[in-house]
Amino acid sequence: MKIGVFDSGKGGTTVLEAIKRVLPNEEYKYIGDSKNCPYGEKSDEELMRIVCGIVDELCDFGAEIIVIACNTATAKCIDKLRELYPKIEFVGTEPAIKLAVATGAEKILVMATPGTIESERLHELVRDNKMNNQKIELLACAGLADAIEKDENVDEVLNRLLKGKKNYDVVVLGCTHYSLIRDRIQKYFPEALLIDGNDGVASRVQQIVQKH
């Protein structure tokens, strides 16, 4: 099948790799929209306009499945995209809160863009999954996706955001760009389990392909 994958830049390549591991023989087109990065600091209207342009391009390629390899665009656009493009199977990427909760961890940190952190969908995920003994802290990481995309000042931004933060059992990488610097984030939380939603996205895409 033809599968389109997009993100605001290179973050989504981590999702694409996970999908290709389980589905090596499909035909892929990846769009890394670095000229509009960061998505996490755009208004809902502007982001929707940008994302529709990309979806149109992936439709021209003939994509039957479109993977939104971006937590921010998923949180803000997926419902509207499903209405606007009813023939396309959209698969979104969401912060792996269910997975984090399922580990039984007591203290969980969710790192994501300001756009994802403020989204209704994220608050729903926390509300629907958190158990009473669990504490889930949300951290809006302004500037981090952009620094990773441009490969500029990443350590400075990490220090500003993470210095002094400790005692988490699980850290959720709620932006696909963060998976690219997993080792650098792990240094701040040597004891914590770091998780992302990439394998979950890959298995959802696999289910759809198998159904076809």
Residues involved in catalysis = 70, 175
Residue from 4, 18, 39, 125 that binds ligand DGL (CB under 6 A)? 39
Residue 196 interacting with ligand DGL (CB under 6 A): no
Q: Can you tell me whether residue 64 is helix, strand or coil?
A: coil
Residue 70 interacting with ligand DGL (CB under 6 A): yes
The span of 35-43, 49-57, 82-90, 153-161 binding ligand DGL (CB under 6 A) equals: 35-43
Q: Kindly state the helix (H) or strand (E) to which residue 58 belongs, with its residue range.
A: helix 44-61
Q: Can you tell me whether residue 92 is helix, strand or coil?
A: coil
Residue from 89, 176, 181, 205 that binds ligand DGL (CB under 6 A)? 176
For ligand DGL, the closer of residues 134 and 202 by Cβ is 202
Q: At what angle do helices 198-211 and 13-22 cross, to 10 degrees?
A: 50
Q: What is the DSSP letter of 169?
A: S
Q: How far is CA 72 from CA 80, 95, 102, 145, in A?
A: 14, 10, 23, 11
Any residues with CB less than 8 A from the CB of 45 and at least 6 apart, and which? none
Residue 134 interacting with ligand DGL (CB under 6 A): no
Identify which of 101, 111, 98 has the alpha carbon closest to the alpha carbon of residue 171: 111
Residue from 13, 14, 72, 134 that binds ligand DGL (CB under 6 A)? 72
- d(C-alpha 186, C-alpha 189), whole Å: 5
The span of 20-28, 48-56, 78-86, 173-181 binding ligand DGL (CB under 6 A) equals: 173-181
Q: How far apart are the first and last CA of the chain?
A: 9
Residue from 18, 37, 63, 100 that binds ligand DGL (CB under 6 A)? 37
Residue 4 interacting with ligand DGL (CB under 6 A): no
For ligand DGL, the closer of residues 7 and 169 by Cβ is 7
The amino acid at residue 24 is P
Query: Which residues here bind ligand DGL, judged by CB under 6 A?
Result: 7-8, 11, 37-40, 70-72, 113, 116, 145, 175-177
